[in-house]
Amino acid sequence: MPENAVAVPREHPTSAGIAIWRCCANLSDVSPYPAFAGPHWRGLRFHLARTEDGRGQEPDEVGLIRYWPELSSNAADSLPLETSRFRPGSPLVRAAGLYGSTPYCYTITVRNDQPGEGRVSFTSESVYYGKHVPLQLPDTLSESKRISFFFRTAPGTAEATIQFNKIPEGSLIEIKDPHLREASEEEFTEAWREWRSRYPERDLTARPNDGEQLQRFISLLQDPPRGVDELLVYGIGSSYTNMLGNGERLVQWVREHFPNAPRIVYKKHVGSAVAYDFTRGWMRQLVLGEKPDLVILYSEGTGKDLEKLLKDFRRHSAADVIVASLHLRERAKENTPATVNNTQWQEVRAIAEKYGCEWVDNRVEHAAYLTGHGKPIEWLLKDAVHQSDHGALVINENIVRHIVPRTVPPRALVKTLPEKTTAYRVDLYGERSSRGKVSAVRINDQSADTCPAFVTTVIGPGPKNKKPARGSAADRSPHLVRLGDPDTIIPQNWTIKMTSDTGDFELIGSVTGQDGGGNNSEDVTSDSGQVTVPTALWRRRVNPDGTHANLKGDVFTWTVKRSTVGEVDFSGKDGEPFRVTLGYQLPQTPIQIEVDPPEEGEGRILGYELIQPALP
């Protein structure tokens, strides 16, 4: 990075993603796609992004901004762009064939006389939140400038739409020559480091107990088995979780401290003012089925509700869990030992430690940071409760500093499957071959893809559901559906359809068909017994004025999927390592699993991992 690189500061807007721009001098001085030198920008505006379908009534992702007075040339060919709706005053491009969780650089020529804004929107079936990254245009003082934006795509991204908003009548804006390319992790890291340099340095030296309850995750970072090329981290909670970002600090931290680590994929699922009482629904309904390696809980709640969440999740997953106390908000009024060490968070800590979670004393460290700099609570906030970019950075660093290299027990693979196992998850590690074929998998002498083991997807509101005045339609919905006797379950798509404005609904399976119904004021089990909709986890079903939040015609959908595979495909590049989960959410009673070994030269089984949940 040039010594005179400058970061453009701002006060309070909060980032939940990174979009960075760079600018150059007048176009007459540069080649078609260079980087460039330019003046400080003036009059920058920022906004809090909201999704068009009402899901993100709280800020989703707001970009960070910087520029370099001098940058090297960038003459790489652009990825194919669909530009039929690209207009100088309202430009829109679409790009297909993108990769998820990957940094990209979008460059345009801009001439305007006031700041502007836009966003990148991702098409992804893998995430519900985190699909938008706002872009901020600087004022070019009516001169043509070449501006580059750096952003990271959402997990599972296949396509992206990039557009800028129209500006007021009479204002000048001309945008042309769009160019998109994949950026390197080194570029993104350099940009992130420059942004980080805006804030005070911190001593994040590892402490003796850091990572004590993260041994499985740390072992995967330090010594990943062959075939493990990515690790999944899930952030679950409220807008406080949302405003921690999309895992940027975590990704950079891992790159700095674990150079051999697999790629980190960060997902989040959030809701307006949601606490542990309802996040426990998501943990079972959504997170469990995605087989996370690490879960980060950052939201409000009580020790009692956290215990309900952890008691269930830890008995069905080996994932490590981080629980962090919330930062100080204006309601605390002052930063004192009494407001920092209140009873609520002492109770939460006790439960987190009881269930083997990594406790992050964020509230204490957040308060100490304020005290160390002689600043009031408001210094790290963007409003009365939500953290600013600076505040989010402090919180993220309080969390990630627990993920440190340390001596952990080796993760052993077994060469052959035992006669019986009670593991809840069984993974096969193997090598592919250009001559590889498909091997059958059996559980208790039956094809494994008939085993009664299942997971669910998140319950999503229909696009035409009633939109609340504040918050999201997803906040006014069932957060959990319990499964019945595994032997009765049929994998299929399910729909709850409201039949009145007073909580009545019917249950419809894509295979089973009409399957009963009831009223959301009580637990309702389908006629077939396959699913139960608990009233306690139907969030905000009744409004404060007594009316019902969900109206006739509103629908909610989810999928029940089998979590076993009936075969393993060994075909591929010679010697390429891979991992496949043979069974997940297995019954934890003794079962026999068998895999037909490939013939010589048709692939190879390296071993198996038999995984037990964190708690029996």
Which three-class secondary structure string do you get for 201-227?
CCCCCCCCCCCCCCHHHHHHHHCCCCC
Judge whether 440 lies within some domain.
yes
pLDDT of 258 > 80? The answer is yes
84 and 159, same domain (yes or no): yes
135 and 72, same domain (yes or no): yes
355 and 477, same domain (yes or no): no
387 and 445, same domain (yes or no): no
pLDDT of 493 > 80? The answer is yes
- Among 384, 400, 416, the domain boundary falls at 400
**Percentage of the chain exceeding pLDDT 90:** 72
357 and 391, same domain (yes or no): yes
Q: Which residue has the higher pLDDT, 35 or 19?
A: 19
Mean pLDDT of all residues belonging to the chain: 87
Q: Identify which of 134-148, 186-200, 421-435 has the greatest average pLDDT.
A: 421-435
Total count of residues recorded for the chain: 616
- For residue 87, the model assigns a pLDDT of 79
* Nearest to 287, CA basis, from 235, 333, 322: 235
pLDDT of 602 > 60? The answer is yes
- For residue 133, the model assigns a pLDDT of 83
Instruction: Quick: pLDDT tens for 277-305.
Output: 999 999 999 999 999 999 999 999 999 99
Q: What is the mean pLDDT of residues 160-180?
A: 87
460 and 443, same domain (yes or no): no
pTM of the predicted model as reported, rounded to 2 decimal places: 0.88
For 108-117, 332-341, 538-547, which range has the lowest pLDDT when averaged over its residues? 108-117
Dump the DSSP string for 428-493: EEEE-BTT--EEEEEETTEEGGGSS-EEE---EE-TTSPPPSSS-GGGSSB---EE--GGG---EE
Judge whether 202 lies within some domain.
no
Domain containing 605: what range?
A: 425-452+564-611
169 and 45, same domain (yes or no): yes
Judge whether 335 lies within some domain.
yes
154 and 301, same domain (yes or no): no
**Percentage of the chain exceeding pLDDT 70:** 88
Rounded-to-integer distance, Cα 581 and Cα 511, Å? 26
- Among 538, 562, 586, the domain boundary falls at 562
- For residue 70, the model assigns a pLDDT of 34
Confidence of residue 198 (pLDDT cuts 50, 70, 90): confident
Give the count of domains, the chain: 4
Judge whether 5 lies within some domain.
no
Q: What is the mean pLDDT of residues 362-388?
A: 97
381 and 498, same domain (yes or no): no
Structure tokens at 533: 């909709």
594 and 580, same domain (yes or no): yes
Judge whether 486 lies within some domain.
yes
Rounded-to-integer distance, Cα 304 and Cα 322, Å? 17
pLDDT of 519 > 90? The answer is yes
219 and 182, same domain (yes or no): no
369 and 460, same domain (yes or no): no
- For residue 18, the model assigns a pLDDT of 56
What are the φ/ψ torsions at residue 378 (nearest 5 degrees)? -65, -20
Instruction: Quick: pLDDT tens for 55-113.
Output: 223 333 333 433 333 333 445 789 999 988 887 767 899 999 999 999 999 989 889 89
